[in-house]
Structure 1
């Protein structure tokens, strides 16, 4: 059974994905979660605080799922492949949360959070990409550009699978091969 705070968080996640941040008034969240005004404001002082709480919790969940055991990363390619597969798996299995992260990323709320704290969580990606560039495995380029390119592939795969269903292992391997060929140094 969900406690009241969890009920608010779950209701808000679903409402934000369906109606957007501005299309979801607090009164609607309170009614949908089945809590009183006092209960809502006990947990969250503002709607912005609620949005930030969902974002941070979702990013932490994603991080815990996708972070590879760094001791097992014997090659840059294997590390990127593991990251790519796990991120796609998480996004495909958590459609609402993935959509929330997408909504948040294109909203003005992202600029209000401490980006450095979230960035630190995903520092392993930067380290892996830097290693690939230093070992001359990956084409040398800005890490932000390289990260966006890889995330674009991840995002596209998640969205494809949400729309058309899960790909076969062969199809996944082919898609990773396409990504890898686009960043590998020949």
Structure 2
């Protein structure tokens, strides 16, 4: 692991534990075990570091979830795969999931340009549009539909983090409950 990655990994832990405002640069430098010069060589400001952690974490999640819309054969199967992968990733990467939650509820979220925020997850919107066009999914605002699906993902991740991982059967039941809430009857 190089020094930049070490700063990112250790700072992520500090931010999750103390929040953005409770983590001064001195604490970040100390946790990473690097000099001031090394820290500022990689990150000009704490905000640059926060953004770098966010982008790296979102890219990691995107790589896990990546579904090519052209390869979708079964909409339900594709959404199920996406949902399961996201829940498993969030359950297994508690610190990274908590960081994304912290970031999404902070003023820093408004500092990223809108394209940077949504670029990695356009395939989710494409998948949902495909479902609406094929009349498989209820026709509604894609942003609201995305939030409804994400709320079930988030809730399941939080449950898993607090109580241990659900069994495959339980995970399947939770997914089916979510699916029934968006499917067009």
Instruction: Tell me the residue number matched to 1:56.
Output: 55
Q: What is the number of equivalent residue pairs in this alignment?
A: 185
Contact 2:16 2:99 in 1 (8 A): yes
Q: Distance in 2 between matches of 1:115 and 1:72?
A: 27
Q: Distance in 2 between matches of 1:41 and 1:19?
A: 21
Q: Distance in 2 between matches of 1:95 and 1:74?
A: 32
- The alpha carbon displacement at 1:118 in A equals 3.0
Q: Distance in 2 between matches of 1:163 and 1:101?
A: 17
For 2:44, what is the secondary structure of its paired residue? coil
Query: Mean Cα displacement is larger for which, 129-138 or 111-120?
Result: 111-120
Q: CA-to-partner distance for each residue in 1:82-132, whole Å, 9 max, x for gaps?
A: 100000011011110000000000000000012212312111101100011
Q: CA-to-partner distance for each residue in 1:17-52, whole Å, 9 max, x for gaps?
A: 000000000011111211111111110000000000
Instruction: Tell me the residue number matched to 2:137.
Output: 138
Please tell me whether residue 78 in structure 1 is matched to residue 73 in structure 2: no
- The alpha carbon displacement at 1:71 in A equals 5.2
Q: Distance in 2 between matches of 1:69 and 1:93?
A: 24
Q: CA-to-partner distance for each residue in 1:136-172, whole Å, 9 max, x for gaps?
A: 1111000000000000000001000000011111111
Please tell me whether residue 127 in structure 1 is matched to residue 164 in structure 2: no
Q: Distance in 2 between matches of 1:65 and 1:54?
A: 17
Describe how 1:3-82 pairs up with structure 2 within 5 A.
3-70=2-69, 72-82=71-81
Contact 2:69 2:127 in 1 (8 A): no
- The alpha carbon displacement at 1:73 in A equals 2.1
Please tell me the root mean square deviation across aligned C-alpha atoms, in Å: 1.0
Please, what TM-score do these two structures have when normalized by structure 2? 0.97
Provide structure 2 residue ranges, at least 5 long, that are not aligned to the other structure.
none
Contact 2:15 2:23 in 1 (8 A): yes
Provide structure 1 residue ranges, at least 5 long, that are not aligned to the other structure.
none
Q: Distance in 2 between matches of 1:123 and 1:58?
A: 17
Q: Distance in 1 between matches of 2:34 and 2:171?
A: 44
